[in-house]
Amino acid sequence: MVERATDGPVTATVRVERGAAVIPETLTVTLEVESERGVEIAEPSFGESLGDFGVKSVAASEATEDDMTRRQQWVVTLEPFVAGQSEVPPLTVAYLDRRERADGSAGDHSGEVRTPAIPVKVEERLADVKGPATIDVPTNLRLLLYVLLVVGALLLVALAARWMRRRFGAARPVKAEPAPLPHLWALAELDRLAAEELVGRGLVQEFYYRINYLLRRYIELRFGLMAGEQTSEEFVRELHRDFVLAPPHKEVLRRFVEACDPVKYALHRPGSDEIAWVQKTAREFIVETAARPEEMEAGADGRAALSGAAA
């Protein structure tokens, strides 16, 4: 099960290995954070418990990065406490953006990404029942056994009361909606980027980083090309070797990359016509290469990629 959340230059993806757990078996949760280069990610705090689960261990893998993004991953092993309908609660990732703006200004911009909760059904495995046996127990041990039985019964009552409060005292988790098709996701992200008015606020370089990353991510989800992990030179070279895209679309992408790189790396100050062309070209490319109806009916490969099937 996969959930994803994005805030500005940071995307957090949480994966739960399965939608059901059995006491006393463990459950693995993976948190992957993808951020633009130059954005600092704070170490997530998992504590001793996550909701109804105890945190048994946390393993952080070494961060990887390319010319555009940095990826970090944490694998958390959880122990279920109580049987019943539960959830892996939202995970929060804080970040700090110290990058210089296109207009030469500087200033820290902080934010956080909060992933949706993921429902998990927890069951309890009962031990096999064996036949009765007669054991000769001394009187003092018998008394101790009675005391332990009473303490155990009280503990079970307390656990049952805690489970009842959690189950009936909180809202039931909402079933996660399926992820949209790649072109629908990309068009929605374009609208959200336009609504942030980064250019009007003087954040032209950040705008170019974002729209360039957005279009490369769409190409990954739509066509399976690893555009986000390549340099601009590698990306253009790969376009000419690949047979998925039509020649006109390859040429448009080449011009798009050449328009973005000077702003991203050489602090070129584009004019309003250049900015408008980048926005218009990204939207037209997405619309023209969107999945056809027969592709959607055949399985919607883009939807599977976007929902994390590649994991």
Residue 97: per-residue pLDDT: 81
Closest by Cα among 8, 51, 68 to 192: 8
Give the DSSP letter of residue 196: T
Say whether pLDDT at 176 is over 90: no
**Domain finish residue from 124, 149, 170:** 124
Give residue-wise pLDDT tens across range 200-219.
999 999 999 999 999 999 98
Let me know if residue 150 belongs to a domain.
no
**Domain finish residue from 83, 104, 124:** 124
Let me know if residue 174 belongs to a domain.
no
Let me know if residue 170 belongs to a domain.
no
Q: Find residue 65's DSSP bridge partners.
A: 70
Residues 188 and 301 in one domain: yes
Tell me the average pLDDT across 269-275.
92
Task: Report the C-alpha gap between 202 and 206 in whole angstroms.
Answer: 9
Which of the given ranges, 97-101, 159-163, 196-200, 242-246, has the highest pLDDT on average? 196-200
**Domain finish residue from 95, 124, 153:** 124
Residue identified by tokens 């705090």 is 45
Instruction: Label residues 216-230 b or e (16+ Cβ within 10 Å = b).
Output: bbbbbbbbebebbbb
CA angle 14, 39, 57 (to 5 degrees): 35
Closest by Cα among 110, 41, 249 to 257: 249
Say whether pLDDT at 152 is over 80: yes
CA angle 114, 118, 121 (to 5 degrees): 155
Angle between helices 204-223 and 247-265 (to 10 degrees): 150
Task: Report the C-alpha gap between 74 and 31 in whole angstroms.
Answer: 5
Residues 186 and 299 in one domain: yes
Residues 85 and 189 in one domain: no
Residues 189 and 293 in one domain: yes
- Three-state DSSP string of 86-121: EEECCCEEEEEECCCCCCCCCCCEEEEEECCCEEEE
Between β-strands 39-41 and 49-50, what pairing exists: parallel, antiparallel or unpaired?
unpaired
CA angle 257, 231, 283 (to 5 degrees): 35
Residues 31 and 119 in one domain: yes
Q: pTM of this prediction? A: 0.41
Say whether pLDDT at 304 is over 50: no
Residues 88 and 186 in one domain: no
CB 252 within 8 A of CB 285: yes
Which residue range(s) make up the domain with 96?
2-124
Lowest mean pLDDT among 8-12, 66-70, 134-138, 300-304: 300-304
Lowest mean pLDDT among 120-124, 186-190, 194-198: 120-124
Residue 144: per-residue pLDDT: 86
229 vs 45 pLDDT, higher one: 45
Token pair recorded at residue 13? 């993806």
Specify the CATH number for the domain of residue 72. Answer: 2.60.40
Task: Report the C-alpha gap between 226 and 216 in whole angstroms.
Answer: 8
Residues 103 and 191 in one domain: no
Percent of all residues in the chain with a pLDDT value above 70, rounded to a whole number: 83
Tell me the average pLDDT across 44-53.
82
Overall number of domains in the chain: 2
Let me know if residue 82 belongs to a domain.
yes
Half-sphere exposure of 270 (CA within 13 A, CB side): 24
pLDDT band at 309 (very low <50, low <70, confident <90, very high): very low
Tell me the average pLDDT across 287-308.
60
Residues 104 and 195 in one domain: no
Which of the given ranges, 28-32, 122-126, 237-241, has the highest pLDDT on average? 28-32
Give the DSSP letter of residue 269: -
Give me the sheet containing 53-65, strands edge to edge. Answer: 2-7, 10-16, 27-36, 69-80, 53-65, 49-50
Task: Report the C-alpha gap between 79 and 29 in whole angstroms.
Answer: 11
Residue 102: per-residue pLDDT: 65
Let me know if residue 107 belongs to a domain.
yes
CB 238 within 8 A of CB 244: no
Tell me the average pLDDT across 135-162.
82
